[in-house]
Structure 1
Amino acid sequence: MPLAATGELIAAAAAARHAVPAFNVITLEHVEAVIAGAEHAGAPVVLQVSENAVKYRYGRLLPLARAAAEAAERAAVPVALHLDHIHSDGLLRQAPGAGFSSVMYDAARLPYEENLAATRAAADWAHAQGLWIEAELGQVGGKNGEPPPDPHAPGARTDPQEAAAFVTGTGVDALAVAVGSTHAMTTRTAALDHGLLKRLSAALDIPLVLHGSSGLPDGELTAAVAGGIAKVNIGTALNVAMTGAIREFLAAHPEAADSRGYLGVGREAMVRTVDRLITVLRDGDAPSHALEAP
């Protein structure tokens, strides 16, 4: 089917008090796994390509973007493309021509007034191109290997009043909020500030986005959706599944040389992770129909 629009998927989810899962992809195996998992779960999904992923691919956006778009157009469920955690204005401007319907412009590292001004300019440009735009306020730590912020440090959590002013001042379509999750967690031990999430949901009339969701146990994920999160970003969970499966395969088959063998089991491990997490977000518990490990 044709590429879906991220904004339309998020709007429909927000209206139904659901959340759209958005998975970060790095390789073609990631792309194929996310789509296969979403098809098995029977749910729409967003494929996200981050600026870091583009850097890994020698700074070239189009090869991965075009592969993702081709795979998405052959999917049996709606699939949208999202350009994630963009700092570079040059990369931002490649989004419309590469099949992306949405971008996340990340100026959260800047002081508030600079973040507001940079995001306002990005939003004006994005909207002129027909793009849906997400921004971030507060500090969802763990990006680029950085340690998570002190939960009590100034700015480490998104302030509801500041967030309302930021949304009005920038015109963004969605806001990623800092409520206790951390990027790049390989254990599922994080806990959210659900009271703060409730206040943010009451203060803002645009969809809220949760970053760093791989570190949250199932109950925290479902509570986040119930609390107003409409887009849930997941990346590290895929890498944990893929890398673990590949390690096991190579340990059992030290003579293996054909990359299809270990990449194949890595891809299938990601398919199962995607299917399970989508169903947790939708149904609130582990799926009874989950794909079994081979």
Structure 2
Amino acid sequence: MPLAPTGELIAAAAAAGGAVAAFNVITLEHIEAVIAGAEAADTPVVLQVSENAVKYRYGRLLPLARAAAAAAARAAVPVALHLDHVQSDDLLRQAPGAGFGSVMYDAARLPYQENLTATRAAADWAHAQGLWIEAELGQVGGKNGEPPPGPHTPGARTDPAEAAAFVADTGVDALAVAVGSTHAMTTRTAALDHALIERLGAALDVPLVLHGSSGLPDHELTAAVAGGITKVNIGTALNVAMTDAIREFLAGRPEAVDSRGYLGVGREAMARTVTRLVTVLRNGGTPASEPPPP
């Protein structure tokens, strides 16, 4: 089926009381696993390609984007294609021609006024191209190996009044908020500021996006969705599943050299992770494998 608009998937999920899972992909195995996992749960999904993934692929956007679009065209569920954490204006301008329907423009590293000015210019350009655009306000730690900010570090939490002004002045379609999650966590031990999520939901009339979600246990994810989060970004959880499966496979088969063997088990492990997470976010409930907190 044709690529789905990201905004429409989010709106439909929110109307049903859930959230859309958006998975960052690096290889073809990631792409196939995300689609297979979403098909197993019969749930729409977003494929995300980050600027860092483009750098890994020798700075070339089209090969991975074309692979994602081709795989999505054969999917049995709606699939959107999103360009994530874009800091380069040159990369931003490649998005429409590469098949992306949405982008996340990331100027959150800049002081507030510079973030606003850069994001407003990006949003004006994106909307003229028919792109849905997400931005970020606050510091979601863990990017590029940096440590997460402390909860009292300036900018470590998104201020609701500032966020409302930022959205109004930039015209963005969604906002990623800093509420306690951290990028690149390999353990599921993070906790969110749920009172802040509810305050942000009350202050804003655009979808709230949660970045750095791999470090959150299921009950934190479902509480975030209940509080107003409608797009949940996940990346490291796939890499953990893939790497663990490959390590186990190779440890038991030191003679193995055919990459299809270990990449195949890695792909299957990622697909199982996708199925579980999209089900959690769609249903707003906690699977039996993880009991809710006391």
Task: State if a TM-score over 0.5 links the two structures.
Answer: yes
Q: Who is 2:89 aligned against?
A: 89
Inter-partner Cα distance in structure 1 for 2:149 and 2:52? 20
Q: Who is 1:228 aligned against?
A: 228
Letter in 2 for 1:44: P
The structural deviation recorded for 1:287 is 6.7
The structural deviation recorded for 1:139 is 0.4
Q: 1:62-141 alignment to 2 at 5 Å?
A: 62-141=62-141
SS in 2 for 1:48: strand
The structural deviation recorded for 1:15 is 2.8
SS in 1 for 2:94: coil
Q: Who is 2:193 aligned against?
A: 193
Inter-partner Cα distance in structure 1 for 2:156 and 2:181? 11
Q: Who is 1:32 aligned against?
A: 32
Q: Who is 2:251 aligned against?
A: 251
Q: Who is 2:144 aligned against?
A: 144
Q: Who is 1:291 aligned against?
A: none
> Which consecutive aligned stretches of 4+ in structure 1 deviate over 3 angstroms post-superposition?
none
* 1:210 corresponds to 2:190: no
Inter-partner Cα distance in structure 1 for 2:190 and 2:288? 22
* 1:156 corresponds to 2:156: yes
Inter-partner Cα distance in structure 1 for 2:85 and 2:71? 22
Q: Who is 1:175 aligned against?
A: 175
Question: Is 1:120–1:171's contact at 8 Å kept on the other side of the alignment?
Answer: yes
Q: Who is 2:59 aligned against?
A: 59
Letter in 1 for 2:287: A
Aligned residues: 288
TM-score, normalised relative to structure 2: 0.97
TM-score, normalised relative to structure 1: 0.97
The structural deviation recorded for 1:181 is 0.3
Letter in 1 for 2:131: L
| CA deviation profile, 1:25-46 (whole Å, cap 9, x unmatched) | 0000000000000000000000
Structure 1: give runs of 5+ residues left out of the alignment: 289-294
The structural deviation recorded for 1:124 is 0.1
Inter-partner Cα distance in structure 2 for 1:125 and 1:18? 30
Structure 1 vs Structure 2 CA RMSD:
0.9
SS in 2 for 1:163: helix
> Percent identity over the alignment?
86
Structure 2: give runs of 5+ residues left out of the alignment: 290-294
Letter in 1 for 2:171: G
Inter-partner Cα distance in structure 2 for 1:67 and 1:244? 25
Question: Is 1:17–1:228's contact at 8 Å kept on the other side of the alignment?
Answer: no
